[in-house]
């Protein structure tokens, strides 16, 4: 029977929960969320978790400003491009920071890898920034071969924290057979075909290329699930040494107690020791323990439980910050106005992404 990629895509996403809509992971947990809010006597209790980040990292914060919290040794060189800014100004900032091409351009407020691009030249960057009228971060491309997400949390009254989730990221890759074109290899690959429109657009000039037998070809460099990256549960890598490294790192990042950092590295043993890695970004209260999306080592109900477990940790950190350190909870109306504004912005970003 001939393989039908369209029919396969539809059925595969129905029967594999890792591709289900985000709402199906959070709506079932809302009763528990309201229970925690009732205990805290505040609907936006979680807004006190990370006082060093705007609204504790509810998605409306500037990624550039959040990156500024990280010690220079652990972050990529980055510059800020304001919407409508003269490109020559941005180019000078890039040169002053000694950032070489290729670079990564990403929205200053963004999510799920939308509009994140690897750009290889000044001219291409100029065209890209002129195409989208939003604030961008221009970041050096980190050439480490591996990426992971590490979820760290620390109660503000304690000196040590916990690592509750490690997610290893496997970038979408195809392997040549010496006969098939990249296009045909993508169509015949049961994971790559799920993202074929995105892949065909990103590699439109290479689709007719035939790879040598056993030659690997990485289809994406952005470590997001929606771009084909496979999330693998790496919780077996959690150790006292890794936690100690993040305790030391956390002590140098003011006002951050809860969230996930996305990291590029070459060797996990070196990462455990606090060496040879770069933090691409810090995510706050909307962070997910992304190991839960490893469908081969978890279940849908296990993913729901993981979310609840992390909400409990979030509750403990936020209420402690409020009671002990007098961090105010954000005004409920102001907080939800930010969320509504974020929804409008998200629609804009998604529409721009669709047009690319």
CB-CB contact of 287 with 260 (8 Å) = yes
Whole-number pLDDT of residue 236: 96
CB-CB contact of 291 with 234 (8 Å) = yes
Q: Which residue has the tokens 């809860």?
A: 258
**Residues 134, 140, 144, 149: what is their CA dihedral angle, to the nearest 10 degrees?**
-40
Detail the DSSP E strand segments found in 154-257.
162-170, 173-175, 216-218, 230-233
CB atoms within 10 A of CB 258: 29
- Give the 3-state secondary structure of residue 218: strand
Query: Among 88, 81, 118, which Cα is nearest to 103's?
Result: 118
Q: 339 is written with which tokens?
A: 């969320």
With a CB cutoff of 8 Å and minimum separation 6, the contacts of 323 are none
Q: What is the pTM of this model?
A: 0.89
CATH label, 29-76+146-170+230-346, candidates 3.30.70, 3.30.1490, 3.40.50, 3.30.470: 3.30.470
* β-sheet bridge partners, residue 106: 137
Homologous superfamily in CATH for domain 77-141: ATP-grasp fold, A domain (3.30.1490.20)
Whole-number Å distance between alpha carbons of 119 and 259: 29
Whole-number pLDDT of residue 1: 45
Q: What is the 3-state secondary structure (H, E, C) of 256-273?
A: CCEEEEEEEECCHHHHHC
- Give the 3-state secondary structure of residue 192: helix
Whole-number Å distance between alpha carbons of 136 and 94: 13
184-195 burial: b if 16+ Cβ within 10 Å, else e: ebbbebeebbbb
With a CB cutoff of 8 Å and minimum separation 6, the contacts of 237 are 166, 168, 268, 272
Whole-number Å distance between alpha carbons of 242 and 305: 24
Whole-number Å distance between alpha carbons of 234 and 232: 6
Name the segment(s) of the chain with CATH classification 3.30.1490.20. Answer: 77-141
Instruction: List the chain pLDDT tens, one digit each, 356 residues.
Output: 455 555 556 677 777 888 888 899 999 999 999 999 999 999 999 999 999 999 999 999 999 999 999 999 999 999 999 998 999 999 999 999 999 999 999 999 877 777 888 899 999 999 999 888 889 999 999 999 999 999 999 999 999 999 999 999 988 888 888 998 988 988 888 888 888 887 887 788 888 888 899 888 888 777 676 667 889 999 999 999 999 999 999 999 999 999 999 999 999 999 999 999 999 999 999 999 999 999 888 899 999 999 999 999 999 999 999 999 999 999 999 999 998 988 888 887 777 666 55
Say what angle helices 87-96 and 122-131 make with each other, to 10 degrees. Answer: 130
State the greatest distance between any 2 C-alpha atoms of the chain, in Å, as a whole number. 66
């Amino acid at each position: 029977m001939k393989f039908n990629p369209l029919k396969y895509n539809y059925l595969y996403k129905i029967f594999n929960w890792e591709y289900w809509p985000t709402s199906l992971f959070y709506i079932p947990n809302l009763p528990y969320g309201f229970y925690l809010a009732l205990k805290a006597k505040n609907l936006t209790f979680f807004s006190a978790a990370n006082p060093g980040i705007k609204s504790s990292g509810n998605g409306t914060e500037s990624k550039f400003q959040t990156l500024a919290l990280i010690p220079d040794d652990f972050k990529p060189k980055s510059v800020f491009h304001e919407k409508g800014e003269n490109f020559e100004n941005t180019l000078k900032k890039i040169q002053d920071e000694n950032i070489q091409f290729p670079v990564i351009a990403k929205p200053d407020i963004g999510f799920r890898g939308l509009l994140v691009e690897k750009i290889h030249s000044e001219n291409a960057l100029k065209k890209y920034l002129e195409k989208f009228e939003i604030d961008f971060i221009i970041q050096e491309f980190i050439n480490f071969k591996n990426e992971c997400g590490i979820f760290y949390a620390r109660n503000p009254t304690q000196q040590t924290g916990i690592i509750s989730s490690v997610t290893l990221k496997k970038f979408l890759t195809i392997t040549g057979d010496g006969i098939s074109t990249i296009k045909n290899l993508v169509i015949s690959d049961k994971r790559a075909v799920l993202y074929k429109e995105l892949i065909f657009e990103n590699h439109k000039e290479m689709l007719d290329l035939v790879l040598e037998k056993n030659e690997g070809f990485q289809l994406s460099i952005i470590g997001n699930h929606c771009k084909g990256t496979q999330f693998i549960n790496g919780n077996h890598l959690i150790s006292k040494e890794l936690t100690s490294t993040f305790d030391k790192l956390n002590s140098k990042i003011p006002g951050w107690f809860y969230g996930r950092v996305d990291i590029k590295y070459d060797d996990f043993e070196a990462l455990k020791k606090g060496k040879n890695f770069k933090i691409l970004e810090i995510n706050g209260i909307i962070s997910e323990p992304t190991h839960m999306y490893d469908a081969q080592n978890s279940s849908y109900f296990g993913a729901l439980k993981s979310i609840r477990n992390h909400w409990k940790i979030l509750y403990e950190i936020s209420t402690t910050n409020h009671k002990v350190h007098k961090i105010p909870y954000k005004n409920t109306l102001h907080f939800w106005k930010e969320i509504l504004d974020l929804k409008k912005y998200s629609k804009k970003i998604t529409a721009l992404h669709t047009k690319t």
